[in-house]
């Protein structure tokens, strides 16, 4: 039989799960912020990719689904290129600094998508995938930075669980799109990237040991 979840103990406290979790949350402010940042990052990524085709068709009337899907393919390519580029850049810049830059750029790109001046919004959303590329592993690494072994295990689990943001925030985008239109719905990932930016700026003050991401190690 499976042991009830509430009776599980957290190794580094020896306490039942709920009490041990409360202590972990109190001890690891950086870890808590990483869980929040990852929740919003995944929500932004899944939301943009899920609604990109709808955005293209809404802002470029007459575009059928197949040509619109080409922009999603381009986004995936941009994401892959961004991952390699971001890893290379981390050999010269700290992960926290690069994360802040990329998050700030994506705030601006999403703002451009909301405004869609001169019909450039689609291209801004495609470009945002390039700058998303380093966010998940960087947030994860910063969230467990400096933690003990048991704390790191719990922190890792919670950060991975925060991917539920992809379901929650995509639903929010869908509801907003139905009521106010897809352009305004892109304000949701804009706010999500703003949260990542706040996390990155705070992490620059909190990082205690070198953080290794994609083979690059920086302070």
Give, in order, the Cα–Cα distances in Å from 5 to each of 16, 153, 158: 9, 17, 15
- The per-residue pLDDT for 153 is 81
Q: Which residues of the chain have pLDDT under 50?
A: 1-15, 208-210, 215-219
Task: Return the closest-CA partner of residue 107 out of 172, 195, 203.
Answer: 195
Task: Return the closest-CA partner of residue 124 out of 168, 166, 74, 162.
Answer: 74
Task: Return the closest-CA partner of residue 211 out of 153, 138, 133.
Answer: 138
* CA–CA gap between residue 50 and residue 33 (Å, rounded): 25
Q: Would the CA dihedral through 17, 23, 25, 27 be positive or negative?
A: negative
- The per-residue pLDDT for 28 is 63
- Using an 8 Å Cβ cutoff, are 24 and 10 in contact? yes
List, in sequence order, the alpha helices (H) in 28-164.
29-59, 65-89, 95-115, 121-132, 135-144, 149-161
Task: Return the closest-CA partner of residue 193 out of 69, 3, 47.
Answer: 47
- The per-residue pLDDT for 140 is 93
Q: Pull the structure tokens for residue 27.
A: 């001890």
- Using an 8 Å Cβ cutoff, are 153 and 12 in contact? no
Q: Compute φ and ψ for 215, nearest 5 degrees.
A: 90, -5
The helix/strand/coil state of 171 is helix
């Amino acid at each position: 039989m499976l042991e009830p979840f509430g009776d599980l103990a957290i190794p580094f406290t020896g306490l039942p799960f709920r009490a041990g979790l409360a202590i972990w949350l109190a001890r690891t402010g950086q870890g808590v912020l990483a869980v929040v940042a990852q929740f919003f990052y995944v929500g932004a990524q899944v939301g943009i990719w899920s609604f990109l085709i709808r955005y293209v068709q809404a802002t470029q009337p007459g575009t059928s689904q197949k040509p619109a899907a080409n922009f999603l393919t381009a986004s995936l390519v941009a994401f892959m290129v961004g991952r390699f580029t971001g890893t290379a850049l981390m050999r010269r810049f700290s992960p926290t600094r690069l994360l802040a830059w990329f998050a700030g750029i994506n705030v601006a790109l999403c703002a451009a998508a909301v405004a869609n001046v001169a019909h450039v919004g689609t291209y801004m959303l495609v470009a945002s995938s390039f700058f998303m590329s380093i966010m998940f592993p960087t947030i994860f690494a910063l969230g467990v930075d400096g933690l003990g072994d048991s704390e790191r295990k719990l922190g890792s689990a919670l950060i991975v669980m925060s991917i539920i943001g992809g379901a929650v925030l995509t639903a929010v985008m869908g509801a907003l799109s139905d009521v106010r239109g897809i352009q305004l719905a892109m304000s949701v990932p804009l706010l999500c990237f703003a949260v990542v930016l706040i996390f990155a700026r705070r992490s620059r003050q909190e990082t205690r040991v070198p953080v290794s991401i994609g083979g690059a190690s920086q302070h």
